[in-house]
Amino acid sequence: MPKIFLEYDENIPILRFSECQNCRMAYGKHAKGLPLRGCCWYDAEFDLFDIKNILDRSKNMFFHLTAKYPFELSNDKNNWFVRFPAVCYNEENDRKNKVCSFFETTKGCLLPVYARPFVCRITLCPQARLAFSPDDYQKVRLFVAKAYRHCLLMLDWLKKELNIYETNFKNLGEVVETLQKLPPLPVFNGRINIPIP
């Protein structure tokens, strides 16, 4: 029977759905020879909120990621993030041929929960909606909405503190150094009231 779990790691929440390994959604389809990676096919993007959460818990973890995996910086007027491109298994650069660089066959995501991007921890796909009663699914959606609101508030605060719209950060080191000077982010302590079968 499908189950949904809410867990916390280092005060960072993650929603887990027991049917992810049996993904039947269109984006779960993959080319022959690729691992069963469900929706873990896209580039992993860490915005300021994600980076600050990692730095608050382990500077070494963030430096390990940027030293071990290729990454790109994206800085536009509205956002600033680090992107780790997905691994493409052949010349056709579409989602059926890609796997997130942090995904490993039979193990899933190699990152500890606190180091995963917000979207990877909190998104719940339409397949999950079919597995639960409308009332229970609404409880999940309410939790996701509250978590997302918390993320946006923290992201806005970080952008203001870093003066992201005025300052032209030229490299990742400058951003990390500035983020480390800020106090730790307040944690989100939402709960879901769904009896686990």
pLDDT computed for residue 125 by the predictor: 77
**Tokens encoding 109:** 């995501």
The residues with which 16 forms a beta bridge, in sequence order, are 5
Sorted by sequence, the CB contacts under 8 Å of residue 188 that are 6+ apart come out as 13, 146, 147, 150, 151
DSSP H helices in the chain: 48-57, 59-68, 118-122, 126-131, 134-161, 172-181
Instruction: List the chain pLDDT tens, one digit each, 197 residues.
Output: 777 778 888 888 888 877 776 777 766 666 677 777 778 888 999 999 999 999 999 989 999 999 999 999 887 667 788 999 988 877 676 777 788 899 887 788 899 999 999 999 988 777 777 777 888 888 888 888 999 999 999 999 998 998 876 776 778 888 899 999 999 999 887 776 665 44
**Tokens encoding 159:** 């952008």
Find where tokens 């993904």 sit.
Answer: 23
Integer Cα distance of 154 and 132 in angstroms: 31
**Does any domain span residue 192?**
no
**Does any domain span residue 117?**
yes
From the number of C-beta atoms within 10 Å of its C-beta (0-12, 13-18, 19+), residue 37 rates as buried
pLDDT computed for residue 76 by the predictor: 67
pLDDT computed for residue 182 by the predictor: 94
Integer Cα distance of 70 and 101 in angstroms: 9
Domain that holds residue 93: 4-181
**Does any domain span residue 19?**
yes
Domains in the chain, number? 1
**Does any domain span residue 107?**
yes
pLDDT computed for residue 9 by the predictor: 87
From residue 24, how far is each of 14, 20, 145 by CA, in Å?
21, 9, 25
Integer Cα distance of 55 and 62 in angstroms: 7
**Does any domain span residue 195?**
no
pLDDT computed for residue 196 by the predictor: 45
pTM: 0.87
The DSSP code for 39 is T
| Cβ–Cβ under 8 Å, residues 178 and 162 | yes
Integer Cα distance of 51 and 169 in angstroms: 15
